[in-house]
Amino acid sequence: MKTGIRNIYMDILKIISMFMVVLLHATNFGIQNIKIEIGSINYFIVWIIRIFSMVAVNCFVLISGYFLCQKKENKENILKKIIRLWVQTEMYSIGLYLLLCFIPQNGVRFSIKTCIKQSFPILTYEYWFIVMYILLLLISPLLNIINKFYI
């Protein structure tokens, strides 16, 4: 893959994967309060959506690994990426929690314990995908060496 040229197929796969992740979260968290009778057509539709959406996370990891193998980055750039991702995750976590605390209809109440937990979502494994992506970034130089010499 040449530098500066977009791979439209990877972009399409990322868009489809994003949509599938949204569907997966919607079926997992968004429709918990809806009573769906086991064995009904709606029950099977939800499960079919979930089954087909399960591959989305694997697609993201494979796409990330593909692009990480294409780049030859030094340790400083990788560390900058990790720090930037960490700070963004912290800020979004705290910001969204505080925003939800101010919306009275959703039932989220402010507590010091939850605020502290939301302040360290990576350390408390709140966002497992971010933790795994950081680990992938950390081992990417080793994967590039293996890719260069053995594959």
pLDDT band at 19 (very low <50, low <70, confident <90, very high): very high
End-to-end CA distance of the chain: 16
**Cα-flanking dihedrals φ and ψ of residue 18, to 5°?**
-60, -45
Q: Are 121 and 73 in contact (CB under 8 A)?
A: no
pLDDT, greater one: 134 or 126: 134
pLDDT tens-digit profile of 85-121? 999 999 998 998 888 888 877 777 888 888 888 888 8
Tokens for 31? 């429709």
pTM of the model: 0.75
Mean pLDDT, the chain, integer: 84
